[in-house]
């Protein structure tokens, strides 16, 4: 178990095989004195795991369920309203508790619903994707606005995170690859030993589908936990978690969401950030050798080359982290030593053009 400090107290993170079936038991103290639990999930996750998870809570509390469509479009005002309606109809009160059973989409919308229902009720994260090892920790919740992703939200810390590694076994490979990018990110911004470990243990995506996933996940979550504990509301070091994301987000936007997974775009962004660090003579990355491993894992490391560099740059200028048209991004002088800096457009242009 890991424990995370937050402004609303400490919360435990359990990672383990098949622990979904002991959810009620493990969460006994948190559930005690509560009136009802509403388990929120999506259709895909629900069809595989909702019955078991409901049964795990049933001995402890009355259980209600809400099953939303799968996919990013679910993080909408409409689905948010549907969820509130369901909660009101089922009589959830301020003593009720929400369980988010699913990937980052469900964690974000169910967490946001919990943050705002009757001015805030507690919630529990039960992540079922690899990517959600990132999204379920740290307390960011929210939905999308038609004009922008994650534009509406709240900080709301979960009471616990219960991560059943066995649920990952039904994930499609592309979701494993997408989520693994965040683990790679966590390794590069934390320490060389973690990077080496990943390179040694993971030569293909299927290497992840083994007992070792528990340890790798625990380490990766620890990196995120250390950062968000130091900077819960994002004023400083939390920005390091955006490593690879400035170009990554721009690629996702320009290629159209769905053209690449989030993690694939982030990996391109990680390599780009190394190249920019080299161009600024902050580092001496052997980018080709870093690239080699990532290519072998199936990441399309050159996909951005088909996109308009001009448009990518324009999008990067509009990034949340940039200001006054200056591109700010996370650079990496060496493993474990990220820094945030404004980078001149000319440098970005040259690096994109491989000059």
Query: Does the annotation flag 71 for ligand binding?
Result: no
| 105 among annotated binding-site residues | yes
CB-nearer residue toward ligand NAD: 171 or 332: 171
Asked whether residue 288 is marked as a ligand-binding residue, the answer is no
What is the x/- site pattern for ligand NAD, positions 170-199, by CB under 6 A? xx---x--x---------------------
Residues 135-174 contacting ligand NAD, CB under 6 A: 135, 138, 140, 150, 167-168, 170-171
Nearest to ligand NAD of 64, 108 (CB atom): 108
Q: How many residues bind ligand NAD (CB under 6 A)?
A: 28
Choose among 123, 120, 71: nearest CA to 99: 123
Asked whether 311 and 323 are in contact (CB, 8 A), the reply is no
Question: By the 8 A CB rule, do 42 and 74 touch?
Answer: yes
Handedness of CA 245, 172, 299, 191 (dihedral sign): positive
Q: Is 348 exposed, middle or buried (0-12, 13-18, 19+ CB in 10 A)?
A: buried
Which residue from 19, 132, 268, 327 is in contact with ligand NAD, where contact means CB under 6 A?
132
Q: Is 45 a residue that touches ligand NAD (CB under 6 A)? A: yes
Least CB distance to ligand NAD at residue 308 (A): 24
Query: Is residue 106 a known part of a binding site?
Result: yes
3-state secondary structure of 319: coil
- For ligand NAD, the closer of residues 71 and 91 by Cβ is 71
Rounded CA Rg of the chain? 20
CB of 102 to ligand NAD, least distance (A): 5
Residue nearest to ligand NAD (CB): 104
Per-residue binding string, ligand NAD, 73-112, x by CB under 6 A, is: --x--------------------------xxxxx-x----
Q: List the one residue out of 101, 126, 98 whose CA is nearest residue 112.
A: 98
Which pairs count as long-range contacts for 318-325, CB under 8 Å and 24+ apart, including other chains? Answer: 319/246, 319/249, 319/250, 321/239, 321/242, 321/246, 322/246
Smallest CA-to-CA distance from 163 within 7, 8, 11, 9 is with 11
**Is 219 one of the binding residues for ligand NAD (CB under 6 A)?**
no
261 is an annotated ligand-binding site residue? no
Put the strands of the sheet holding 160-164 in their side by side order. 2-6, 9-16, 160-164, 123-127, 97-102, 37-42, 63-68
For ligand NAD, give the closer residue by CB, 232 or 291: 232
| Residue 260 binds to ligand NAD (criterion: CB under 6 A) | no
Nearer CB in complex with ligand NAD: 105/274: 105
Q: Is 51 labelled as part of a ligand binding site?
A: no
Q: Which residue has the tokens 């959810």?
A: 23
Shortest CB 46 distance to ligand NAD, Å: 9
Q: How many helices (H) and strands (E) does the chain have?
A: 14, 11
Q: Which residues contact 39 (CB under 8 A, 6 or more apart)?
A: 50, 53, 54, 57, 63, 64, 65, 66, 99, 101
Catalytic residues: 119, 140, 182, 224, 234, 238, 242, 245, 249, 262
Among 79, 128, 190, 335, binds ligand NAD (CB under 6 A): 128
In the numeric block, the tokens 């004195």 are attached to 33
Instruction: Give the interface with ligand NAD as residue ranges (CB under 6 A).
Output: 42, 44-45, 70-72, 75, 102-106, 108, 128-129, 131-132, 134-135, 138, 140, 150, 167-168, 170-171, 175, 178
Annotated binding site for Zn(2+): 182, 245, 262
Annotated binding site: 104-108, 128-129, 140, 149, 167-170, 182, 245, 262
Annotated binding site for NAD(+): 104-108, 128-129, 140, 149, 167-170
């Amino acid at each position: 178990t890991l424990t995370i400090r937050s402004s609303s107290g400490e919360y435990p993170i359990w990672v383990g095989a098949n622990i979904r079936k002991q959810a009620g038991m493990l969460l006994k103290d948190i559930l005690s004195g509560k009136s009802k639990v509403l388990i929120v999930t999506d259709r895909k996750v629900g069809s595989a795991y909702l019955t078991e998870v409901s049964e795990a809570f049933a001995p402890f509390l009355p259980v209600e369920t809400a099953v939303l469509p799968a996919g990013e479009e679910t993080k909408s005002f409409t689905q948010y309203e549907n969820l509130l309606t369901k909660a009101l109809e089922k009589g959830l009160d301020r003593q009720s508790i929400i369980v988010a059973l699913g990937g980052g989409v469900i964690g974000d919308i169910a967490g946001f619903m919990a943050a705002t229902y009757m001015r805030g009720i507690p919630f529990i994260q039960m992540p079922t994707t690899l990517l959600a090892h990132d999204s379920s920790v740290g307390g960011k919740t929210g939905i999308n606005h038609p004009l922008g992703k994650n534009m509406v939200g709240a900080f709301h810390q979960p009471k616990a995170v219960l991560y059943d590694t066995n649920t990952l076994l039904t994930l499609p490979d592309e979701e494993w690859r997408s989520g693994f990018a965040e683990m790679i990110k966590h390794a590069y911004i934390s320490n060389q030993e973690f990077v080496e470990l990943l390179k040694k243990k993971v030569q293909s995506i299927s290497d992840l589908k083994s007992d070792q996933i528990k340890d790798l996940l625990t380490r990766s979550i620890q990196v995120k936990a250390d950062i968000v504990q130091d900077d819960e509301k994002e004023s400083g070091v939390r920005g390091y978690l955006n490593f690879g994301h400035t170009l990554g987000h721009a690629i996702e936007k320009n290629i159209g969401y769905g053209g690449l997974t989030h993690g694939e775009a982030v990996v391109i962004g990680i390599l780009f950030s190394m190249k920019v660090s080299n161009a600024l003579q902050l580092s001496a990355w052997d980018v080709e050798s870093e690239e080699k491993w990532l290519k072998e894992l199936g990441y399309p490391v050159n996909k951005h080359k088909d996109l308009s560099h001009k448009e990518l740059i324009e999008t990067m200028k509009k990034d949340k982290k940039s200001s006054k048209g200056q591109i700010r991004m996370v650079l990496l002088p060496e493993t474990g030593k990220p820094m945030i800096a404004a980078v001149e457009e000319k440098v970005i242009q040259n690096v994109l053009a491989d000059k």
